[in-house]
Amino acid sequence: MPDDFTLNCWPNNINCFAWSQDGDLAVAGGEHVELLTPKFHPFVQIKTTDTLWHNVHIRINSFTLQEQPTLKPASFREWSIGEEISPITVVSLAWSYRGLSKQRRAVLGVLTSNLLLSIWESTSKPWLADGWRRTLVINHTLKAYFSTMLHTDKDKSFRRRVRIRAFVWGSTSHQHAVDSTSEFLAVCNDCDEIIILRVQLASSILLADQSPSAAVVAHFKASSVDDGVMNTPPLTFEEMMSHRAYRSTLSWSPWIRSESGESTSFLVYPSGSHIQVHKVSASHSNDSEPIKMAFDDPQSVELPMRDKAPISWLPTLSEDGTLRMVTFTQESVVCVTFHDDGETTISPLNLHSISDHWDMPSGVTFTDTSYPLVHFVFHLSTPRASQTTLSLLRHKEKEHECPEAGWRQQLRDKMAIYSAEHELRGNVKAKVYGITSSPFGYFTATCTSFHPGDQLEYTIPIDQLCSVDISEARTMDDEAFEPPSEGWNSDVTVVSSEFLTFALKRWICRRHAWDDRVALAEALWAQLSNTVKPGPSSDFSRTRLPLDEAIAKHYTSASPDIETSPYNFVVPLRQELFDQIAQKRFRIGRLIDASVLSKEPALEDDIPVLRHLCRAVDKLLPLFTGDDELSHRLARIFGMLSIMVFSDAPMNGADPSTVPSEVVENCDICDAPVAFDDCRSAKCSHGHRFIRCQLTFMTIQAPGITKYCGVCGKPFITEEWVHKVVSESHAKRESANTSSSLPSLALLLLATCDVCLYCGGKFVR
């Protein structure tokens, strides 16, 4: 399959290139964001000439009056070119680390030149532009927050406080928490203040009545260091920009968990010839209380960073328990180690001299081999750089040789092709706008445009093209799909099923013919299943009750209607269905079958999952079979399903005389009874056929209420339809004064299984 993708744009900024945990690539293209989303063909053998990408073109410079109200002209001290007359182009973008959106999808933060920070999420089909929407503008939260502190009409700094100059998501490890409904976000405003926010979207059907929101958690002035440079007027542009009144770069490290249950991370930003480091502590006693955060006074470390130099953190701890950050000074590439043992120790180390590169570094990222490698690029001088890949172990006694990365060879090949096509005789300039790596460090991607090197270039927008090139960063031989190495969060189930399917399909297309697939699938399963670890894993130490204990707590609670929250059941039920080793290995096997064998599973292959689901539902039935008619229907359905999966009865109704059946539903067309004698489909007594939801096993009889797994293609009923039916039933119970605080069993199952129960894939409409 092709290793490159051509986009019809020139990125307007450097380091505007990001790869999400779902496998989606985002490129800032002026007034648009170009998204590359993995393309999946469930159970279809793809050819080496097929592309695995959808290209989505999202326009980000269009705001409604609610999103961007009309502003009155500002005074000279408050006036901002970006806010008032900007063409509204992308300044920076970044994916959230957790799945904040529905079905655990990552959301995209986009900062535009009008100083507005927007949160974009996928609502239905991520490969269509209409499937993305702007769901939140963070500036509105800042406006509401500062309105309570300042007199908006009198305080001249109010408008400056609402403008956002830089942002960063609160970093996490690759392992997602089971109840990841919120994410931390740090922003810097025009008054050089740093604001920490908690962003929460309506990611669950149980939060359907809650609108997307952000709340301020902390607010403090960015610390500055007076290093004496500005005692006299600035002599260079670099001196002036290094002392401007706001921070253009923020960086947040991964979290370090301690045995005491407290987690620690570091918030870093440049300050003149130093960097300021805030130690961030977070603790969480139980699920009913919010996470408590504390910010220590900043620690100053002398490190003269280049202006707007990119910063990247190694996503895992080193062997000695330290965090490592890589950035750029005027003279060298620097690795900064952070060690927290009660007292924070910060140690910069020069890795490689870059004094001969006058242009800006445009990106830095890490990949995983037998030891971590750091890759970095420059905007203009990458092709002639003596070294662009470094080992973080080179300062130890045993140095590791760093072979040339695959993306560097791809860059040279593209330059040669461009030279031949335009008869330039090798006079080609390459502008590299950024480099990023995929989850687990399997692949690297670069974004590059090519230009004549010995003449002026005249182009029109249709000719402005850039190339996104993907290369393998890991050593994957022809015999095995190499799993993540130890220390790089080696459990392959912590990344999305979409990305793992993409990685498997790409590896197969490049290395294997279309024969002997069974042996290959068995080898892959044996190798990847050994990496599975029990869950759940969270970024904070949290008290999580198993399902049995959660049910027992409800019965023993003095005030169950007050103390019992739906999430007291969602979290343990999600543990029960998703985080046990057997379930994780089953999902790996299902992904391998779809990617390698292109095999659609038989009904008997689903029996392990169905048995586990029936056991979990059986524990919940006494709680959720009150006056809710839908829950009563599910009780009858799962009663019949249990007879099927725990006995030798046929699963597909091959012999109706031996299949236990019971009328549990009626046909919406003719009102004839519909018996439960097949797990995948149903037929009424008059012959009308329907498919069944593969979670609730109710028949799907109405149009527009079906969603499908984007990886394995299984059908499921939509939570909106269930919510409507439950709401109508709840209204009737309220009128009869028989309402309950607990949600419907159907809603609980849909809220728990926000991804496919069988393969972990995300749903599409």
Hey, what long-range contacts does 549-557 have (CB within 8 A, 24 or more apart)? 551/619, 551/620, 551/623, 554/623
| Element containing residue 59 per DSSP (H, E) | strand 53-59
| Element containing residue 431 per DSSP (H, E) | strand 428-437
Q: Quick one: pLDDT at residue 400?
A: 47
Distance set, CA 478 to CA 281, 442, 490, 519, 548 (Å)? 45, 15, 21, 13, 46
Helix 581-592 with 497-511: angle, nearest 10 deg: 40
Asked if 620 contacts 744 with a C-beta cutoff of 8 angstroms, the reply is no
What average pLDDT is seen over the chain? 79
pLDDT band at 547 (very low <50, low <70, confident <90, very high): confident
Mean pLDDT of 62-82: 81
Rounded to the nearest 5°, which phi and psi values hold at 568? -65, -20
Return the closest-CA partner of residue 21 out of 719, 762, 540, 575.
762
Between 245 and 115, where is the model more confident?
Answer: 115
Q: Quick one: pLDDT at residue 34?
A: 92
Please state the separation of Cα 26 from the chain's center in Å: 12
The burial class, CB within 10 Å (0-12 / 13-18 / 19+), for 23 is buried
CA gap 376, 457 in Å, rounded: 27
CA gap 762, 131 in Å, rounded: 14
The burial class, CB within 10 Å (0-12 / 13-18 / 19+), for 363 is buried
Mean pLDDT of 153-159: 71
Angle (CA) 488 491 494, round 5°: 100
Q: Quick one: pLDDT at residue 434?
A: 92
Residue 483 has pLDDT above 70, yes or no: no
Tokens of 615: 């056991």
Other Cβ atoms less than 10 A from the Cβ of 34: the count is 22
266-278 in b/e burial notation, b at 16+ Cβ within 10 A?
A: bbbbbbbbbbbbb
Mean pLDDT of 220-235: 62
Please state the separation of Cα 472 from the chain's center in Å: 21
Least confident of 405-409, 414-418, 482-486: 482-486
Q: Quick one: pLDDT at residue 185?
A: 92
Asked if 538 contacts 178 with a C-beta cutoff of 8 angstroms, the reply is yes
> Who's near 681: CB < 8 A, 6+ residues apart?
689, 690, 691, 692
Q: Quick one: pLDDT at residue 378?
A: 93
Mean pLDDT of 106-130: 89
Distance set, CA 3 to CA 63, 182, 183 (Å)? 35, 35, 33
Between 557 and 325, where is the model more confident?
Answer: 325
pLDDT band at 513 (very low <50, low <70, confident <90, very high): low
Mean pLDDT of 269-297: 77
Peptide bond into 290 cis (omega under 30): no
Rounded to the nearest 5°, which phi and psi values hold at 372? -70, 140
Percentage of the chain surpassing pLDDT 70?
Answer: 77
Q: What is the largest CA-CA distance in the chain?
A: 96
Asked if 74 contacts 84 with a C-beta cutoff of 8 angstroms, the reply is yes
Mean pLDDT of 703-721: 88
Residue 484 has pLDDT above 70, yes or no: no
Between 698 and 292, where is the model more confident?
Answer: 698
Residue 604 has pLDDT above 50, yes or no: yes
Mean pLDDT of 454-471: 86
CA gap 582, 607 in Å, rounded: 13
Q: Quick one: pLDDT at residue 397?
A: 43
Q: Which residue is listed with tokens 């279809």?
A: 44
The burial class, CB within 10 Å (0-12 / 13-18 / 19+), for 496 is buried
The burial class, CB within 10 Å (0-12 / 13-18 / 19+), for 41 is middle
Mean pLDDT of 536-559: 59
Q: Which residue is listed with tokens 């004496």?
A: 228
Asked if 33 contacts 62 with a C-beta cutoff of 8 angstroms, the reply is no
* Dihedral-angle region of residue 737 (phi above 0 means left; psi in -120 to 50 means alpha; beta otherwise): left
| Element containing residue 730 per DSSP (H, E) | helix 719-735
Q: Quick one: pLDDT at residue 286?
A: 56
Return the closest-CA partner of residue 366 out of 468, 487, 249.
487
Question: How far is the first Cα of the chain from the last one, in angstroms, to the nearest whole number?
Answer: 27
Between 393 and 309, where is the model more confident?
Answer: 309
Residue 558 has pLDDT above 60, yes or no: no
CA gap 153, 163 in Å, rounded: 17
Please state the separation of Cα 18 from the chain's center in Å: 11
Residue 612 has pLDDT above 50, yes or no: yes
Sign of the Cα torsion 550, 555, 557, 562 reads positive
Percentage of the chain surpassing pLDDT 90?
Answer: 18
CA gap 72, 66 in Å, rounded: 15
Asked if 101 contacts 122 with a C-beta cutoff of 8 angstroms, the reply is yes
Strand order in the sheet with 466-472: 4-7, 466-472, 443-452, 428-437
Rounded to the nearest 5°, which phi and psi values hold at 326? -120, 130
Tokens of 309: 């130099």
CA gap 484, 174 in Å, rounded: 12
CA gap 385, 370 in Å, rounded: 25
SS3 679: coil
Secondary structure (DSSP) of 352-396: EE-TT--SPEEEEEEEESSSEEEEEEETTTGGG-S--EEETTTTS
Between 90 and 601, where is the model more confident?
Answer: 90
Residue type, 6: T
Summarised one tens digit per residue, pLDDT across range 394-412 is 544 444 457 778 899 889 9
Helix/strand number for the chain, H first, E second: 15, 37
pTM of the model: 0.86
CA gap 446, 448 in Å, rounded: 6
| Element containing residue 497 per DSSP (H, E) | helix 497-511
The burial class, CB within 10 Å (0-12 / 13-18 / 19+), for 281 is middle
Q: Quick one: pLDDT at residue 575?
A: 82
Return the closest-CA partner of residue 492 out of 534, 528, 539.
528
Residue type, 685: S
Asked if 132 contacts 56 with a C-beta cutoff of 8 angstroms, the reply is yes
| Element containing residue 472 per DSSP (H, E) | strand 466-472
Least confident of 38-47, 211-220, 425-434, 516-525: 38-47
Beta bridge partners of residue 582, listed in sequence order? none
Distance set, CA 254 to CA 173, 279, 282, 758 (Å)? 6, 12, 12, 30
Mean pLDDT of 642-649: 78
Q: Quick one: pLDDT at residue 660?
A: 52
Distance set, CA 511 to CA 480, 481, 520 (Å)? 10, 10, 12
Summarised one tens digit per residue, pLDDT across range 35-69 is 998 876 655 555 555 677 888 999 998 888 888 88
Residue 420 has pLDDT above 70, yes or no: yes
Hey, what long-range contacts does 212-218 have (CB within 8 A, 24 or more apart)? 212/119, 212/135, 212/136, 213/136, 213/141, 214/136, 214/138, 214/141, 214/185, 215/141, 216/141, 216/142, 216/145, 217/184, 217/293, 218/293, 218/295
CA gap 399, 390 in Å, rounded: 11
Rounded to the nearest 5°, which phi and psi values hold at 635? -60, -45
